[in-house]
Structure 1
Amino acid sequence: MRIIRYLQKPSQRISLAAITEKGNVYSLPYNDYLELIEQAKNKSIKTVDLLNELIHDSLPLIEQLEELDLAVPIESPEVWAAGVTYHKSKEARNYETTNGKLDDITFYDKVYDAERPEIFLKSTKDRTMGPNEELFLRSDSNWQIPEPELGLVLGCDGEIIGYTIGNDLSCRDIEGENPLYLPQAKIWARSCSIGPAILPADMVLDPYQFNIICRIFRDEKLLFEEFANTSQLKRRYEELVHYLKRDNILFPGTVLLTGSCIVPPNEFTLIDGDRVEIEIPGIGKLNNVVKVQINQAVN
């Protein structure tokens, strides 16, 4: 079962719900995902067992999943991201840094092989968008791409309590120009989305066997499609969480994006109106249209 948040009508109240493998949607008596996980711990049972108890004598919603107005599945106080965790990512970073001279050794080679991973703050609660919400392109970049990633939903002690999908919009030209520009290449208004659902961690047999598919549509015509698998990840999830926790405050519900192994061709850049669809079977499809901000100020 997957967990979503959706907007009830006409009350406009955000509610938590579970989606069964058959696609039925059941409303849950909790305010958010953290409360669901805490209740399962208090009862010393698995999340799936608690969910089965809750929906046993309940009727599913009349609406199908596609008819619901989905919200971000968790209001994560902070979204962090790990970089250069896949070989494909290292190659892409090297390309943009060396103008295609891939024989040159760069700091990205060092990061890929180093003990300490690259981890950076990607977004905050008010900056993080949900499924079907618009993302914004940065006004001072001419080379922007989505980065489809598996997201770890973390408890206060760093325990992995769920998995979701993340879209880490990135500016390849800004990051390639100077590594110190990374924050501007990664963080701006509406540059991150997560969703559409959370898959509870105790329902996952092997988290290193998630398939990730990224599709980009232009004028609703498929422009790009590529597949990857989390088995290609160089680092373990616990390793990434360990370094995120080190000398840091970890808020309950923090999401850690684990890096991308899918990179569009080097000549590609997103433009106004493109739709990005990131799918991880078992979690769902995260859809976002990217837009140029009408009121962007270009200096």
Structure 2
Amino acid sequence: MRLVRYIEAEGKPPVFAACTEEGQVVPLPQDGIQALIRQARSERVTPLEWVRKWMRTAPRLEASEEQLRLAVPLVAPEVWAAGVTYARSRDARNYEATGGKLDATTFYDKVYDAPRPELFLKSTAARTVGPEEEMLLRSDSNWQIPEPELGLVLDGDGAIVGYTAGNDLSCRDIEGENPLYLPQAKVWKRSCSLGPAIVLAESVEDPYRFELACRIYRGGALVSEGTASTGQLKRRFDELVAYLIRDNDTFDGNVLLTGTCIVPPNAFTLQNGDVVEIEIGGIGTLRNTMRSPTQNATQNATHDSERSASEFG
């Protein structure tokens, strides 16, 4: 089951809806995944059971899913991320930290093999964008890349409610200069995107068989492409979640990004106007355009103000 939020009219909050396999759209009475989690919990049913019950008698939207203008599928209180969960990510981090010594061993090897995973706070609701929205490149970095990742949508107890796609925009030069710079290499305005949909966990037969693809276009031409599978993960999802919720305040609708296995060539860096597509089978394609801080500054400021007013009170 796929859940989306779509923009029905400018200036109004997005509408939360379920999408059938045939592309039909059924608006839901809840205003988001958090409300759905609370409703299902109060009725002692699963989110999927609640949605299926509602869809038996609820009217369908006249428009199909393809015709909708989609918003970020959930307003996540916090977006966390896991690092060095794939061998490819470990190798890329080693390259950054050693100035290109491909055979070097660093602390990234240690965290790859350690019982404790690397976890960090990636974003908040106000910093996160959705499908077709612009992401912002950092002004003090010369080596920036997208990181396509499967995101776990969690309830307040740490149970996996669903899955979504995420783009963990990252600065390889800043992180490589010093690991203590990780927050600056990962967290800034509009550096995280989620979408285009949430697939409820109960409808996924095997979450370690998700196929991911990342395509980067410049001037309409494909300049980088890669594929991966969640089957290549070093760690299990329940392992990552267990460390995230340990001695921590957690909230319905938090998202945990599970790391990347797709890294562009070392000579590549994102530029203003690049378009990044992250596709995960069953979830859809998350598409965003990259903007430098000097481009469309007024437009971005207006957009963020509107998001704050309509979604975050």
TM-score in terms of structure 1 length: 0.95
2:195 is the counterpart of 1:195: yes
1:11–1:179 CA distance, 2 compared to 1 (3 A): closer
Matches within 5 A, 1:196-275: 196-275=196-275
Structure 1 position 156 matched with structure 2 position 168: no
Does the alignment pair 1:175 with 2:168?
A: no
Residue matched to 1:64: 64
One-letter code aligned to 1:246: R
In the aligned structure 2, how far is the partner of 1:66 from the partner of 1:118? Answer: 37
1:118 CA drift (Å):
0.5
User: 2:306 — aligned with what?
Assistant: none
| Higher alpha-carbon deviation: 35-44 or 188-197 | 35-44
Q: Distance in 2 between matches of 1:254 and 1:57?
A: 30
Question: What are the Cα deviations for residues 60-89 of structure 1, in whole angstroms up to 9, with x where unaligned?
Answer: 222222322211111111111000000000
Aligned residue type for 2:260? S
Secondary structure of residue in 2 paired with 1:141? coil
Summarize deviations over 1:263-292 as a string: whole Å, max 9, x none: 001111100000111011111111110001
Query: 1:49, 1:250 → 2: CA distance?
Result: 24
User: What are the residue-to-residue correspondences of 1:64-103 with 2, within 5 Å?
Assistant: 64-103=64-103
**Distance in structure 2 (CA, Å) of the matches to 1:163 and 1:10:** 28
- 1:124 maps to 124
Deviation of 1:244 after TM superposition, in Å, equals 0.9
**Equivalent-residue separation in structure 2 for 1:49 and 1:241 (angstroms):** 24
* CA displacement, residues 70-123 of structure 1 (integer Å, 9 cap, x when unaligned): 111111111110000000000000111112212221010111011111001101
Q: Which amino acid aligns with 2:231?
A: S
In 2, the alpha carbon distance for the partners of 1:119 and 1:232 equals 19
| Deviation larger for 29-38 or 69-78 | 29-38
Q: Unmatched 5+ residue regions in structure 2?
A: 298-313
- Per-residue CA distance 1:20-66 (angstroms, 9 max, x = gap): 11111111111111222333344444433332322223442222223
Farther off after superposition, 186-195 or 56-65: 56-65
Aligned sequence identity (%):
59
Does residue 28 of structure 2 align to residue 16 of structure 1?
no
1:286 lines up with 2:310 in the alignment: no
Contact 2:37 2:155 in 1 (8 A): no
Equivalent-residue separation in structure 2 for 1:236 and 1:264 (angstroms): 25
CA distance 1:187–1:63, shift in 2 (3 Å)? same
Cα separation, 1, equivalents of 2:24 and 2:40: 21
CA gap of 1:48–1:247, structure 2 versus 1, over 3 A, is closer
Deviations 1:128-166 (A, max 9, x none): 111111000011111100000000111111111111111
Which residue identity does 1:248 align to in structure 2?
N
User: SS at the partner of 1:193?
Assistant: strand
Give the superposed CA RMSD: 1.5
Once the two structures are TM-superposed, the CA of residue 252 in structure 1 deviates from its matched residue by 1.6
**Whole-angstrom distance in 2 between the partners of 1:61 and 1:124:** 31
For 1:36, the equivalent position in structure 2 comes to 36
CA distance in 1, matches of 2:53, 2:82: 37
Query: Which residue of 2 is the match for residue 26 of structure 1?
Result: 26
Match in the other structure for 2:7: 7
For residues 166 and 66 of structure 1, the distance between their equivalents in structure 2, rounded to whole angstroms, comes to: 20
Q: Which amino acid aligns with 2:258?
A: T
For structure 1, the 5+ residue unaligned runs are: none
